[in-house]
Homo-oligomer: A and B are copies of this chain.
Amino acid sequence: MGRVAIGVDVGGTNLRFGIVSEAGKVIARSRAKSDAHQGVDAVISRIDKGIAGMLKRAERDGHVPAGIGVGVPGIISLPEGVVRFSPNLPGWENFPLRDRLQHHFRLPAIVENDANAYAVGEAWKGAGVGVDSLVCLTLGTGVGGGIILGGEIWRGVDGMAGEVGHMTVMPRGRKCHCGNTGCLEVYASATAVVERAGEALSLGTKSCLVDCFPSGLTAADVKHAADTGDALALRMYRDAGSYLGIAIAGLINLLNVERVVIGGGMAGAWDLFIGPLRAEVARRAFDVPAKRCEIVPGILGDDAGMVGNAGLVFRG
């Protein structure tokens, strides 16, 4: 019992809800499909339902809700709590999410970029505990990033800072959906691993993955193939690690942070990419900041975003 916050993580695929204590413990969680293609009203109605369920449960158990914190992928206007644009949420342009929630639930609400919320979660209660400066990378459909400097999120003047996934790591490299060529994201996301494996297969590279190809090749397939020693699959993860290392070496030379935290689904393949990643960092970054910077996996998993959003509610 005591003060709690409702943390919400809005993704293109899933909505996650949690009751989070002031100590950062997740007391309860629930999940729903986003079905984002149905448009903003349908998603909001599912968010309302999820939050209402959490609030009901919190009150039943004698907790006092302090507010609601929501993480949304895309560009958020912080002072107004407005979602300016979200690549994964069609129809959300300029949606006043914070005011909508405050009005509906009569509770304080905050809206934050999902990668920033992830970084706050790991910094507060996860792999970032004990340091003031860190960069979080999330390897999933894309490569997300959140930067914490001096204990605070660095959001940039438009709230768009932290796009580690769209730093160029190979100037004349692969095309990215953002319009650039050679972004980190086109080498180190789960999507990239699958696409690059598919391209190699279609060029005739021998691999057990040929059984799942061309239809239905997934990141889980590539991971499984790598675990059984498949050379192509192993190479995909090694390459991802090398490109991550190039970008992280740059971050270390630029920001001299204490820690880099790597999360998201693909972080589960840690042992498959961390070696080449560390080799590139050792080769490319200055000794003092490279030795200082710990590179560690995230530990909160799917809870990181909701914990971070709840933390931002408590911080006020």
Binding site for B on A (CB under 8 A): 75, 132-133, 145, 147, 149, 154-164, 166-171, 178-181, 246, 249-251, 253-258, 283-286, 288-289, 292
Measured CB to CB, the nearest residue on chain B to A162 is: B254
Known contacts A154-B149, A168-B249, A170-B171; decide if A161 and B255 are in contact (CB<8 Å): yes
Q: A158-B256, A166-B253 are in contact. List 4 more A-B contacts (CB 8 A).
A: A133-B157, A168-B246, A168-B249, A250-B250
> B257 and A157: CB pair below 8 A?
yes
> A133 and B156: CB pair below 8 A?
yes
Question: Nearest 4 pairs between A and B by C-beta?
Answer: A156-B256, A161-B256, A163-B253, A167-B250
> A289 and B160: CB pair below 8 A?
yes
- A167 to B254, alpha carbons, bound, how many Å? 7
- Contact among B147, B156, B164, B181 with A257 in the assembled complex (CB-CB below 8 Å): B156
- A133 to B284, alpha carbons, bound, how many Å? 27
A75: B residues at CB distance < 8 A: 288
Nearest CB of B to A1, in Å: 38
Measured CB to CB, the nearest residue on chain B to A172 is: B170
A157: B residues at CB distance < 8 A: 132-133, 256-258, 289, 292
